[in-house]
Amino acid sequence: MAEAIRKGPRARDLKAMPGFKTVAWLCIIALYLPLAVLVIFSFNDNRSVVRWTEFSFRWYEAALSNDGIRNATWVSVKIAFVATVVATAAATMAALATTRTASFRGQGLAYGIINQPLMIPEIVTAIATLSLFALIKTATGVTGIGYLMAAHTAFCIPFAFMPIRARLEDMTLVLEQAGADLYATPWQTFRHITLPLLMPGIVAGAMLAFVVSLDDVIITLMVAGPGETTLPIYILGAIRRGITPEINAVSTILVGVSVLLVVLLFFVQRRMEK
Amino acid sequence: MPETSNATQSTRSDRAAISARSLVKTFGAGENAVHALKNVDIDIRENEFFTLLGPSGCGKTTLLRMIAGFELPTSGTILLDGQEITALPPYKRPVNTVFQSYALFPHMTVAENIGFGLKMLGRPADNVQGRVEKMLALVQLEAMANRRTDQLSGGQQQRVALARALAPEPKVLLLDEPLAALDLKLRKNMQLELKSLQAETGITFVFVTHDQEEALTMSDRIAVMRSGEILQIGAPKDIYERPTHRFVADFIGDINILEGEIAGAGGGTAQVRLKDGTTISARLAEGMAQTGPAAVAIRPEAARIAGQGETADLTGTLENVVYFGAASYLHLRLNSGEEFVLRQPGGLDGHDLSRGARLGIAIQPGRARVLE
Amino acid sequence: MTETSLSAAHREAQARATRTRYGLLAPALIIILAISILPLGITVVYSFLEPGTYGGVVWNFSTDAYVQFLFERDIFDDTLTFDPAYLSIFMRSIGLAFGAMIGTLILGFPTAYFIATKPRNQRNFWLFLITLPFWTNLLIRTYAMLLIIRDEGFVNISLMKLRLIDSPISILYTDTAVFIGLIYSYLPFMVLPLYASLEKLDFRLVEAGYDLYASRWKVLRHVIAPLAKPGIIAGCILVFIPGLGAYITPELLGGGKSLMIGNMIAIQFGSSRNWPFGSAAALILMMLVIIVLLIYAASAGRGRRTHG
């Protein structure tokens, strides 16, 4: 009897594997430790990124008054904004086409094309895009930030596409049919039924696209012309010049923005599930 | 019913709200083709509560979706008030639907849901509001006007769906198994409510269900469907008491079906020799074959135990008695081996009801019918 | 309605659906075709041209880019001698990516299993913890790793303070540093698909395994692992492919010493000014990726057949 009782809790524990919990905790710690160190030493009142002296916003002040960083931030935001708007619009339309009309021949091909930027190593896309843009630049003489915006738009599309398509696939067609039944023309049905219901997916897609554009290094590095320095490219250059807490401060801000967006995204998706 | 003269027919079709002519719907093609509707003709009259009844897959929902405009027929014609609407998109048809899942818009309030159709029709805002209030009163949901639809109970959602579909005053209201998701008690209430709403509004209701009892209680007329065909159209009483088709008889209510062969016929009555050798007389509907194999249908309540000295139409061995208070159901085994159930009203005194007792069965004159 | 006008209506409806569909698809497809797929065609062309002195290409057909991959051309007499320098970079990249794949699998499987066996309402939180670093900038995460494993970094200083070591362990700018960096970067890619398949796992099967006197290891090996196979394969692909094309990790943690394919390609378009060779190397990298994906597709297809 006593043995049977003792067996109770152990029986539930059968799923647990020895050592797995330790490894899992180690992984979580290993994922966060470097970032934690980075963030902590961004508040260090000292040039050192290892020896803690005193808490201060010194490096944030330095970073925020640094023209290079301010310009790079502005360039990053401009590119991310344009890429997000265009990519989200294109992805929304494509998602409507693949979920709101009967399945068609070539659907697999369309998915393949839309997801292509995810399947090719980024460095390959980067040098290929560079080659194309170099050709266009020589042929037309046109330069500018538009090239970066175009490149970002292309690789943002699959990221925006994923949550929008997922949302549409979860939405039953019957609501749109109810709209049509109640005298809404196809456009009115889209405007009053489909679009409001799809909104959480579109917001999620746009946020993903924004984060992905904001974080891009390789394609930007290859395609960027002189003076078109985005924040990650600025950080990469600064790291190459030498490690300073100022880099920690800028990095912390960039990480903060990404984390904030992703946390928001998490809540948007939780609302979507309801 | 005089259906022969052309004149009568034309006046009837004038009064038809919905007419379908030779409707065919085939999904897919070749060997995998599914024939959802095979040449359906139907006239649904103005102001009637019309029910499409049949098991799932019989084509009733396809027919409804075609009237709503969600599906194009493969061939055939649909008329609304004599106007062709076969290829008209749903938003151009003065027909509204109550969906099985209700399909309420989750991002709108109850009032916004109900006003949606009128808003889309471009009615002025105050006009819409007045109508919405009227509809809310009609379905007794005045207090819920500003609620979100997911805060409502199933029955309330059902009422919102109804109000939303009725608000634009459609010529025809289509209801796709709207009560299927409700529990039994609520379903009974809603059946009565629907029926009185229909009478109140005077709108033609086309109701789809697989529940025969629901169909019998609510409908003015019923069309029984099976595998894409309409087997019989008629008032509930006709369908129940005078089924012309074996499937109809079997699908609606309890019935005994006995196999036999017509021995002689005349004057709307046939003498059918059953498998155990006895011959009984049964009504023969017009146009039915006067010879050959036939099945006789007898409702349990159309038969009772033959009294002393009375001649029994059939004889069977008692196998089981199920007591229901006001009546008892007696399960008998005939000499042919077929089962026969009869409903014996009142007390059971004076009969030998022990298992294995031989009992005579008397059938009410005219209540045995030959099936196609 | 007559048969013909009805079939006309059908055709009209179909034509309208087709117009809508392609109209809606057009922007996304055109953008990606023009900015992502067309350039690959240009890369193919470039790989058969001669390099320009100051970058770019000279429009003369040449297979030198591919020859150069394996051979060194003598400047004076044009003779070819076998030169494994570039090949060894490829082999090192494959080795590092493969190592990172195995490493993330060894670390990721217990982690995914741990999360999948958590109570349902806690799982999302744990998953969120795993995915959050994935959404922070890869460059910044790599930089953070650099801060940690430097000679005077957090790890060495801590270990020295604890008197576990006397002098710092130098791993920065070695293959080890790149290996650690790759595992750190791509661990979430492994955990997510593993979790997705483990979460669906019916743990009654595990109990059935114990019931039949299997040891924990045997249950893991013969019950859980086969059921989690789709997740394992997907995770391996998701780590191996980006690992193979990694640029930032070797750039920051490998210094100039531990190059991978990605850096080598970038250098051809930068200081080396050999676009055709860079294009050829990029195409070879892409071919490797496509081969891996094809193997994956074939194995997934086979899986579906046996289940179907």
Same domain? C185 vs C271: yes
Reported as a pLDDT band with limits 50, 70 and 90, residue A225 is confident
pLDDT tier for residue A219 given thresholds of 50, 70 and 90: very high
Higher pLDDT, B231 or C77: B231
Q: What percent of chain B has pLDDT over 70?
A: 95
Q: Kindly report the number of other CB atoms within 10 A of residue B83's CB atom.
A: 10
Whose CA is closest to A204, among A95, A41, A57? A95
d(CA C86, CA C64) in angstroms, rounded, equals 14
Instruction: Say yes or no: C28 and C137 in one domain.
Output: no
Half-sphere exposure for C97 (CA within 13 Å, toward CB): 28
Quick check: is C74 in a domain?
A: no
- Does the distance separating the beta carbons of C37 and A116 come in below 8 Å? yes
Asked whether residue B237 falls in the same domain as residue B262, the answer is no
Q: What value of ipTM does the predicted structure carry?
A: 0.87
In whole angstroms, give the CA distance from residue C215 to residue C209. Answer: 8
Of C16-25, C89-98, C207-216, the one with minimum mean pLDDT is: C207-216
Instruction: Tell me the average pLDDT across B314-319.
Output: 89
Examine the domain organization and report whether B219 and B276 are in the same domain.
Answer: no
Q: Are residues C122 and C39 in the same domain?
A: no
Distance CA B203, CA B167 (A): 11
CB contact under 8 A, B89 and A174: no
Is C213 part of any domain? yes
Whether the predicted pLDDT of B232 surpasses 60: yes
- Which pLDDT belongs to residue B95? 95
Contact A35/C152, CB-based, under 8 Å? no
Residue B107 forms part of a structural domain = no
What pLDDT, in 10s, does the model give residues C97-132?
Answer: 999 999 999 999 999 999 988 888 888 888 888 888
A55 domain-assigned = no
Tally of CB atoms within 10 A around B119: 20
**Structure-model confidence comparison of residues C151 and A48, the more confident one:** C151
- At C229, which CATH number? 1.10.3720.10
- Taking an 8 Å cut-off on Cβ atoms, the answer to whether A50 and C252 are in contact is no
CB atoms within 10 A of CB B312: 16
Residue C41 belongs to domain spanning: 2-46
**How is A102-128 classified by DSSP, letter by letter?**
---TTHHHHHHHHHHHHHS-HHHHHHH
Residue type, C259: L
- For chains A and B, CB pairs below 8 A equal 61
- Could you tell me if C296 lies within 8 Å of chain A, comparing CB atoms? no
Check whether residue B300 and residue B228 sit in a common domain. Answer: no
C90 with C188, same domain? yes
Does the structure show a pLDDT above 90 at A151?
Answer: yes
Q: Residue B347's pLDDT is what? A: 66
Note whether residue A70 is domain-resident: yes
Contact between B95 and A181 using a beta-carbon 8 Å cutoff: yes
Check whether residue A32 and residue A79 sit in a common domain.
no
Say whether both B68 and B188 belong to one domain: yes
- Higher-pLDDT residue of C174 and B354 is C174
Q: How many domains does chain A have?
A: 2
Residue B202 token pair: 């005077």
Same domain? A262 vs A141? yes
State pLDDT tens for residues B143-165.
999 999 988 988 899 999 999 99
Map tokens 């000014």 to a residue: C273
A184·B97 Cβ contact <8 A: no
Same domain, C101 and C209: yes
A181 and A74 inside one domain: yes
Over 50: is that where the pLDDT of A138 sits?
yes
In a domain, A207, yes or no: yes
Q: Which residues of B touch C1 (CB under 8 A)?
A: 75-77, 84, 86-87
Alpha-carbon distance A195 to A197, whole Å? Answer: 5
Residue listed under structure tokens 């193979």: C244
Residue B20 domain flag: yes
Decide if A3 is inside a domain: no
Instruction: Give the residue from A172, A174, A181 with the most B CB atoms within 10 Å of its CB, the best one to mutate.
Output: A181
Residue B152 lies in a domain: no
Is A189 a member of any domain? yes
Rounded mean pLDDT of C78-97? 89
> Span A31-44, mean pLDDT?
91
pLDDT digits (tens, 9 = 90+) for B67-100: 999 988 988 999 999 889 988 899 999 999 999 9
Amino acid at C199: E
Tokens of C129: 């913890």
Residue A203 lies inside a defined structural domain of this protein = yes
Give domain status of residue B99, yes or no: no
| Chain B contact present for A272, CB below 8 A | no
Instruction: Verify that B190 and B301 share a domain, yes or no.
Output: no
Place of tokens 């609304």: B80
A189 contact residues in B (CB cutoff 8 A): 91
Tell me which chain B residues have a C-beta less than 8 angstroms from the C-beta of C5: 87
Report the residue from A121, A132, A218 with minimal CB separation from C244: A121
Read off the pLDDT band of A272 (50, 70, 90): low
> Do residues C71 and C80 lie in contact, with contact meaning Cβ atoms separated by under 8 Å?
yes
Q: How confident is residue B293, by pLDDT bands cut at 50, 70 and 90?
A: confident
| A16, A38, A93: residue with CB nearest C117 | A16
Residue B246 counted as domain residue: no
Q: Do B117 and A182 touch (CB under 8 A)?
A: yes
Whether residue B125 lies inside any domain: the answer is: no
Q: Are residues A135 and A176 in the same domain?
A: yes
Q: How confident is residue C18, by pLDDT bands cut at 50, 70 and 90?
A: confident
Residue B116 maps to a domain: no
Q: B329-342 pLDDT, tens per residue?
A: 889 998 888 889 98
Domain final position from B205, B220, B241: B241
Determine the structural domain holding residue B38 and report its residue range: 6-94+170-241
Asked if B75's CB is within 8 angstroms of C6's CB, the reply is yes
Owning domain of residue A268: 66-273
Residue B188 lies in a domain: yes
Q: Is any Cβ of chain B less than 8 angstroms from the Cβ of C4? A: no
In this structure, the answer to whether residues C41 and C104 fall within a common structural domain is no
B86 & B193 share domain: yes
Q: Give the pair of three-digit tokens for residue A28.
A: 């979580």
Residues A21 and A107 in one domain: no
The reply to whether C125 touches chain A by the CB within 8 Å rule is no
Shared-domain flag, residues A198 and A99: yes
Q: What sections of chain C are H helices per DSSP?
A: 3-32, 38-46, 64-70, 85-116, 120-135, 138-149, 154-161, 175-199, 203-211, 216-219, 225-227, 229-244, 248-253, 261-269, 275-307
Q: Which of B192, B207, B241 is the last residue of a domain?
A: B241
Chain C neighbours, 3+ Cβ pairs < 8 A: A, B
**Segment B4-53, tens digit of pLDDT:** 434 333 333 347 899 999 999 998 877 888 889 998 999 999 999 999 99
Same domain, A131 and A244: yes
Q: What gap in Å lies between CA B166 and CA A79, rounded to an integer? A: 51
Are C97 and C31 in the same domain? no
CATH assignment at residue A133: 1.10.3720.10
The CATH number given to whatever domain includes residue B45 is 3.40.50.300
Which residue in A20, A104, A221 is closest to C113 by CB distance? Answer: A20
Nearest to B165 by CA among B211, B143, B197, B123: B197
| Alpha helices (H) along chain B | 6-14, 60-68, 110-120, 125-138, 154-166, 184-201, 212-218, 236-241, 246-251
- Same-domain check for residues B53 and B191: yes
Set of chain A residues whose Cβ sits within 8 Å of the Cβ of B206: none
Asked if residue B196 and residue B76 are part of one domain, the reply reads: yes
Q: Are A36 and A87 members of one domain? A: no
When scoring C2, C6, C10 by the number of chain B Cβ atoms within 10 A, the one with the most, hence best to mutate, is C6
What residues in B contact A174, CB-CB < 8 Å?
Answer: 99, 101, 103
C69 part of a folded domain = no
A92 in a domain, yes or no? yes
Q: What is the pLDDT of residue A85?
A: 98
Task: Output the average pLDDT for chain C.
Answer: 87
Q: Is A139 exposed, middle or buried (0-12, 13-18, 19+ CB in 10 A)?
A: exposed
Instruction: State pLDDT tens for residues C250-268.
Output: 999 998 777 899 999 999 9
At residue B297, the 3 state secondary structure works out as strand
Asked, for residue C72, whether it belongs to a domain, the answer is no
Is the confidence at residue C209, as pLDDT, over 90? no
In this prediction, residues C71-75 reach a mean pLDDT of 80
| Residue A58 forms part of a structural domain | no
Provide the pLDDT for residue B63. 94
Q: What's the total number of domains in chain B?
A: 2
Does residue C93 form part of some domain? yes
- Averaged pLDDT for residues A55-75: 91
* Three-state secondary-structure class, residue B294: strand
Number of domains composing chain C:
2
pLDDT score recorded for residue A145: 93
Same domain for C117 and C19, yes or no, is: no
Is the predicted pLDDT of residue C308 greater than 70, yes or no? no
Q: Which of the two residues, A44 and C100, has the higher pLDDT score?
A: C100
B116 pLDDT more than 60: yes
Q: Is residue C67 part of a domain?
A: no
What's the rounded mean pLDDT across residues B110-118?
A: 95
CATH number where B294 lies: 2.40.50.140
C13 touching B, CB under 8 A?
yes
pLDDT score recorded for residue A10:
43
**B326 in the same domain as B216:** no
> Does C78 map to a domain?
no
The region of weakest confidence among A146-150, A184-188, C256-260 is: C256-260
Of the candidates B186, B184, B185, B207, the one whose C-alpha atom is nearest the C-alpha of residue B195 is B207
